[in-house]
Amino acid sequence: MLLRQTTRALRAASQLRLSPIVRMQSNEATTHFGFKTVKEEEKEQLVGSVFRNVASKYDVMNDFMSAGVHRLWKDHLISVLNPSKETKLLDVAGGTGDIAFRFLDHCKKAYGADSEASVTVVDINPAMLEVGMQRSKAMGYSDSGKISFQEGNAENLSNIPDASVDAYTIAFGIRNCTHVDRVVAEAYRVLKPGGRFTVLEFGQVENPLVKGIYDIYSFQVIPKLGQVVAGDAESYQYLVESIRKFPPQPKFAQMIKDAGFTLVGKGWEDLTFGVAAIHTGFKL
């Protein structure tokens, strides 16, 4: 009797393991949303909700969080990019226009009326794009023919033809994408031969003392600032967690190289002890 019951139990367990429902659940692709594990198809919606919530206060919060240092990082990005008077830039995840306007201002200052430089801003979030378009109008760029805004996914830039842009920038946006490797591959596709891929993103701090201070500030102060300034602590809790989940500088540089880009030197420049970094690859 005991042997018969044991056999039935083993058979039932075997059938359970082979159940299509169980297999589906165990094979579901997952990713991270901050420190949480979520289904891949859910992340885009969750990230979209974060940026929809913070769009109107996004630039103000950047000033509060970094004490204005993010402006210096972005200015340095444009210096590193060193655009020509004819550069056609694609700025991805740049809805509010922070990089795009710096780019246009730089070209206007450097080349004056001779500048033929232009920028296309792509962002997946309509609320962020709306902020950028309002700023563009206020700055007098909306009717210049030098800037356009498109809603689009960095992982599939279906509206951007192959080998059609001279430079591609993405600032503080790539870590929010579900498949970072697909973003890098799309950048390679849309760039012309000789084109430059430039990423400004938060990095991993190696100095133990700086890291300790940075971690305390990130987890204890930034969410509280988010609550006070933007009325949203949870979104900023996600943002600081997402920084820790993004690949460290050497690993991300290798991803860029694996996509076909040629690195210069080690492939990145640390900013402010590695709190942020600029990664560069050329399509040769």
Binding-site annotation, residues for S-adenosyl-L-methionine: 96, 123, 153-154
The residues, ordered by sequence, that sit 6+ positions from 121 with a Cβ below 8 Å of its Cβ are 91, 94, 95, 97, 100, 129, 132, 147, 148, 149, 150
SS3 168: strand
Binding positions are 96, 123, 153-154
SS3 174: helix
Give the separation between CA 40 and CA 99, rounded to whole angstroms.
29
Closest CA to 134 of 115, 117, 147, 153: 147
Q: What are phi and psi of 208, to 5 degrees?
A: -60, -40
Q: What are phi and psi of 247, to 5 degrees?
A: -60, 140
The DSSP result for 25-89, as a single string, is HHH--EEEETTEEEEHHHHHHHHHHHHHHHGGGHHHHHHHHHTTHHHHHHHHHHHHH---TT-EE
